[in-house]
Amino acid sequence: MTESEEILRIASKGDGVTASGRFAWGAAPGDKLRIDDTLEWGPHHVEPPCRHFGSCGGCQLQQLDEESLTAFVEGRVANASASQELGAEVLAPPHLSPPHSRRRASLRAESSGGRVVIGFREAKSHRLVELEECPVLVPEIVALLGPLRKLLITMGKAAPVKKGRHGKPAPGKVQARMAADIEMTLVDQGIDLGVKGLTAEGLAATEAMLDFAREHKLARLTMDGGYGFETVWEPVPVTVTLGGVKVPFPPGTFLQATLDGEEALVGAAREWLAGAPTVADLFSGLGTFAFALAGPETKVLAAEAARDVHFACKAGADRAQLPVFSVHRDLFRNPLQPDELSRFAAVVLDPPRAGAREQVECIADSTVSRVVYVSCNPSSWSRDAARLVEAGFRLVELRPVGQFRWSTHVELASYFVRD
Residues in the annotated binding site: 256, 283, 304, 350
Q: Which residues are annotated as a binding site for S-adenosyl-L-methionine?
A: 256, 283, 304, 350
Amino acid symbol at 231: T
Return the sign of the alpha-carbon dihedral for residues 282, 285, 288, 290: positive
Catalytic residue annotation: 376
Distance CA 94, CA 108 (A): 31
∠ CA 282-291-386, rounded to 5°: 30
Nearest in space to 288 (alpha carbons), one of 321, 251, 335, 324: 324
Q: Is 172 exposed, middle or buried (0-12, 13-18, 19+ CB in 10 A)?
A: exposed
Question: What is the rounded CA–CA span in Å between residue 120 and residue 125?
Answer: 10
Residue 355 near residue 385 (C-beta atoms within 8 A): no
Question: Cβ distance 336 to 313 under 8 Å?
Answer: no
Q: Going by DSSP bridges, is the β-strand pair 220-224/115-121 parallel, antiparallel, or unpaired?
A: unpaired
Report how far apart, in Å, the C-alpha atoms of 68 and of each of 14, 332, 406 are: 12, 37, 11
